[in-house]
Structure 1
Amino acid sequence: MGIEKMDSKLNTHVKYLTIVHRSITLGTQTVEAQVSIMRNMHLRFMVVAFVITMSGGTVVPPLTTHVLDTARGIPGGGINMVLMIRSGNGEFREIERGTTNNDGRGGFLTSSSFQAGAVYKLFFDTDNYFKSIGVKGFYPFVEVVFRIDDPSQHYHVPLLLSPYGYSTYRGS
């Protein structure tokens, strides 16, 4: 990444610099940060623009997951997921859908926020995942149910997965 040194005097020519920091995909969410700096020769001032583009939400979703296929020692990419919240009558209703990326990562709650004290369910479609890799699995799906006590915190819910077992925990 090249950076042109800009002195404190405003020159009569235009200097333009663009730095793309990073593109990140978390499930269906793509984030790109771009910094643009331009000096205009006629108006003789500096324009600085910082642009973040994404398909909804924040840079780091408040709820993330990471699926690791422990039997093969690789990330569990391409696993369909559904995030649900428990309603007052005890039934779960869908909030969002997503798919883990090639690194087995996904993020949720980009268009809404956590509700304090609410109970959530994260559904993983392990049956289709195992079929896609030619493996017969014992668990057709995994449901992880958890409570959000502090909506200001980030919640990470990893899933360690194999054809005949799984484990989960609250990550960081």
Structure 2
Amino acid sequence: MSTPITCHVLNTLSGTPASGLKATLTLLSADNSSSPQSSTSFGAKTDEDGRVKAWEPSAGKTLGEVMDSYNSGDRIACSIKFDIGPWYEEKGIESFWPEIEVKFYVKKGERHYHVPVLVGPWTYTTYRGS
């Protein structure tokens, strides 16, 4: 089974995928959940196409396993933080953003969630992908 949350980052300065960008996905909380989890985080780096298709396990559990512990239909607050400042600095470009964070909700039991992000050293935008 694929991971329930993925992302795709494009570098608007060069018009290319943002490969090698560090990302952290955090499940912040869930409405109506009796689950003990709060602030469970998963790390990843974007691949050569600027995508995160899988997250590193946290405390030995995959993202799917942690999400399975929530109640069906729970609305889960999530965050993906991208370390954009250091990533641009490695390329010799000064960035206005040390990091960018996209917060959003997912519902357990619903379809896959995809979070596309367009980044530049002075701007970023995001939307709910498909």
Q: TM-score range by the shorter chain?
A: 0.7 to 0.9
The counterpart of 1:97, out of the listed 43, 46, 62, is 43
Report the counterpart of residue 62 of structure 1 in structure 2: 4
C-alpha offsets along residues 88-114 of structure 1, whole Å, 9 cap, x if unaligned?
A: 7xxx72421111011100034254326
RMSD after superposition: 1.8
Q: Is the 8 A contact 2:22 2:45 kept in 1?
A: yes
Q: Distance in 1 between matches of 2:39 and 2:122?
A: 28
Amino acid at match of 1:145: K
Q: Say which structure is richer in strand.
A: 1
Cα distance change of structure 1 residues 94 and 126 upon mapping to structure 2, 3 Å threshold: farther
Moved more, 106-115 or 133-142: 106-115
* Secondary structure in 1 matching 2:75: coil
Larger Rg: 1 or 2? 1
Q: Does 1:164 align with 2:116?
A: no
Cα contact 2:11–2:119 (8 A) shared by 1: yes
- C-alpha contact (below 8 Å) 1:67/1:159 kept by paired residues: yes
Structure 1 residues 111 and 100: alpha-carbon distance in aligned structure 2, compared to 1, 3 A threshold = farther
Partners of 2:44 and 2:111 in 1: CA distance: 21
Q: 5+ unaligned residues in a row in structure 2: which ranges?
A: 31-37, 56-62
Identity over the aligned pairs, expressed in percent? Answer: 33
Matching residue of 2:106: 148
Distance 1:132 1:110 in 2: 33
Match of 1:168, as an amino acid? T
Q: Which runs of 5+ in 1 are unaligned?
A: 1-57
Structure that is richer in helix per residue:
2
Superposition TM-score, scaled by structure 1 size: 0.59
1:150 CA drift (Å)? 4.6
What SS does the aligned partner of 1:127 have?
Answer: helix
